[in-house]
Amino acid sequence: MEYVIGVDLGTSAVKVLLVDRSGQVRGEWTESYPLHQPHSGYSEQRPDDWVEKTIVALRRVWETAGVSPESIVGLSFSGQMHGLVLLDGDGNVVRNAILWNDTRTTKECREIEEKAGAEALLSIAKNRALEGFTLPKLLWVKNHEPHLYERARVFLLPKDYVRFRLTGHIAMDVSDAAGTLLLDIKTKTWSETIARAVGVDLSLCPPLVEATAFVGTLRPDVAERTGLPSSVNVFAGGADNACGAVGAGILAEGRMMSSIGTSGVVLAYEQSGEKDFAGHVHYFNHAEPDAYYIMGVTLAAGYSFDWWKRTFAEAAPIAEIVKRAAESPIGANGLLFTPYLVGERTPYADADIRGSFIGIDSAQTKWDFARAVMEGITFSLNESVEIIKASGKTIDSVVSIGGGAKSAEWLQIQADIFGLPVEKLKNEQGPGLGAAMIAACGVGWFDSLKQCADAFKQVESVVEPRPDAVAKYKELFSIYREIYPHTKELAKRLKAFRP
């Protein structure tokens, strides 16, 4: 029996999956690493922590699964997007990585818009300048740490740095590069127009490859530490959302994914790079060559649920919270919640907005609040669903992954709010499975990612929308959409009082 490995480099941990030729996960191992927040709005990690923990996980996954390491033939990656890793001429890390959820770069975003022009950004990179993207971080280092910027010879994204340390090969795949704000996503080349406008030398940009590209084998010292043969074929891999889409089978028109993790994502397959969404949703290259995806992001999705549990029901098991919340009626007895705990990204690119409970009544219970949080997260995702539908795209069904797929109650809420059938997968492993699928195709098990998805993906159940509930949620959603414009100025005025 042969196996491939998918490495998913997340924000809090690296998760490694061992997958056989039928798509069954035969082993998994997770290793966590710390997050450093030296100032409010800052979010950093040590790149070498990723490497060390990945090496540990690679060894533990085959040891605990009880398979021969010689049977492992391929390996690929999924990784947190947008993070900035700067390397000097010797390949050493210049400073801690600045992560996707770091919000220090508001001034740099305005600088990019002023110098490059908002229209040029949308025409070339297909996205607006947002704090989470990589280019604003690069300019922040240039503006605030010029001595470190001068030492830098190349920048990488998180998983690309780990892959470099494992193989010695420097490259960046186009699905992840699309999130830097420096890529021309149509031509899949670095944009000289944007780089010149903002004063960034294109020599800092690494070579580009497809997510499915073969990039080498394991370095001898890495092979020794992981116990894997140095002959293991390594493939570039992709951005976490692109790999999540691969794992969920979002590889054809009409397919959409809803992912509720720390952040929330709605993602739809797109064959063309020609559409114009005016920056209201993200537009990125897919892990599948010559394809794209459009995506909306809720910054605090599962994070909002975790915050509510930690603050108001710490001792209660998640399953009990969801069950009791489901006993509250649609609309949570007149209560709405907006999940803007750390600002918002889609469709409101607003780092200052904060969350609200609207309609608090003395008759409500904490379980009404729990339901309002679940509905509010889903309403936020539905803002992106509506933008995608308005573009003329037909969506036939939604695949739900992450925390929102773990309960029948939340699956039903998604089906009713989206007004679409929602699929729950039998063996949902998210981006890590997508990374393993890239490796499976790379070693020749399948001719395409779609063929691999058809073999690996197994639907456990389909939740249909209920017409009466759909009608009620449409009415509630129209009210929900009025909350942001009525609270954004209040949130800005309250900013001075926040820690």
266 pLDDT above the threshold of 90? yes
Residue 147 marked in a binding site: no
Strands 172-173 and 208-209: parallel
* Torsion over CA: 466, 468, 474, 480 (sign): negative
Report whether 81 belongs to an annotated binding site: yes
Return left, alpha or beta for 408; rule: phi > 0 is left, psi -120 to 50 is alpha, else beta.
alpha
Q: What is the pLDDT of residue 278?
A: 78
Q: Is the pLDDT of residue 127 over 90?
A: yes
pLDDT-above-70 percentage for the chain: 100
pLDDT for the residue 275:
77
Residues labelled as active-site residues: 240
Q: What's the pLDDT at 218?
A: 98
Per-residue pLDDT of 128-155, as tens digits, reads 999 989 999 999 999 999 999 999 999 9
Other Cβ atoms less than 10 A from the Cβ of 139: the count is 22
**Lowest mean pLDDT, pick from 71-75, 399-403, 421-425:** 399-403
Assess whether pLDDT exceeds 90 at residue 105.
Answer: yes
pLDDT beyond 90 at 262: no
| Token pair 């394991």 in the structure block, residue | 218
Task: Specify the pTM.
Answer: 0.90
Find out whether 133 and 200 touch, Cβ atoms under 8 Å.
no
**Which domains does the chain carry?**
3-241 (3.30.420.40), 251-427+466-499 (3.30.420.40)
Kindly report whether the peptide bond that precedes residue 431 is cis, defined as omega within 30 degrees of 0: no
pLDDT, tens digit (0-9, with 9 covering 90-100), for 81-94:
999 999 999 999 99
Place of tokens 């040590």: 46
Decide if 9 contacts 1 (C-beta within 8 A).
no
d(CA 336, CA 339): 10
Quickly list DSSP for 194-246.
Answer: HHHHHT--GGGSPPEE-TT-EEEE--HHHHHHH---TT-EEE--EEHHHHHHH
Question: What three-state secondary structure class fits 350?
Answer: strand
* C-beta separation of 138 from 84 below 8 A: yes
Q: How far apart are CA 101 and CA 87, in angstroms?
A: 21
Given a contact cutoff of 8 angstroms between Cβ atoms, the answer to whether 328 and 371 are in contact is yes
Give residues with Cβ within 8 angstroms of 489, minimum separation 6.
none
Q: How confident is the model at residue 385 (pLDDT cuts 50, 70, 90)?
A: very high
pLDDT band at 324 (very low <50, low <70, confident <90, very high): very high
Which band of pLDDT confidence, cut at 50, 70 and 90, is reported for residue 261? Answer: confident
pLDDT classification of 65: cutoffs 50, 70, 90: very high
- Whether 274 shows a pLDDT value over 80: the answer reads no
Over residues 199-211, mean pLDDT = 97
Give me the pLDDT at residue 219, please.
Answer: 97
Question: Phi and psi at residue 338, in whole multiples of 5°?
Answer: -110, 125
User: CA neighbours within 13 Å on the CB side: how many for 249?
Assistant: 22
Kindly state the tokens that stand for 349.
């690119």
Phi-psi region of 250 (alpha: psi -120 to 50; beta: other; left: phi over 0): beta
Residue linked to tokens 């393993």: 436
Confidence band (pLDDT; 50, 70, 90) for 346?
Answer: confident
Give pLDDT, residue 21: 96
Residue 280: pLDDT band (50, 70, 90) is confident
Confidence class of residue 345 from pLDDT cuts 50, 70 and 90?
A: confident
Contacts of 221 (CB under 8 A, 6+ apart): none
Q: Does 349 have pLDDT greater than 90?
A: no
Compute the half-sphere exposure of residue 475: CA atoms within 13 Å on the CB side of its CA. Answer: 8
Q: Which of 57-61, 378-382, 494-498 has the lowest mean pLDDT?
A: 494-498
Q: Is the pLDDT of residue 33 over 80?
A: yes
Contact present, 415 and 463 (Cβ < 8 Å): yes
- pLDDT score at 499: 81
Give long-range contacts, CB 8 A cutoff, 24+ apart: 268-277: 268/293, 268/294, 268/295, 268/388, 268/393, 268/395, 269/245, 269/293, 270/294, 270/393, 273/126, 273/185, 273/186, 274/186, 275/391, 276/122, 277/126, 277/387, 277/391
Predicted local confidence at residue 185, as pLDDT = 94
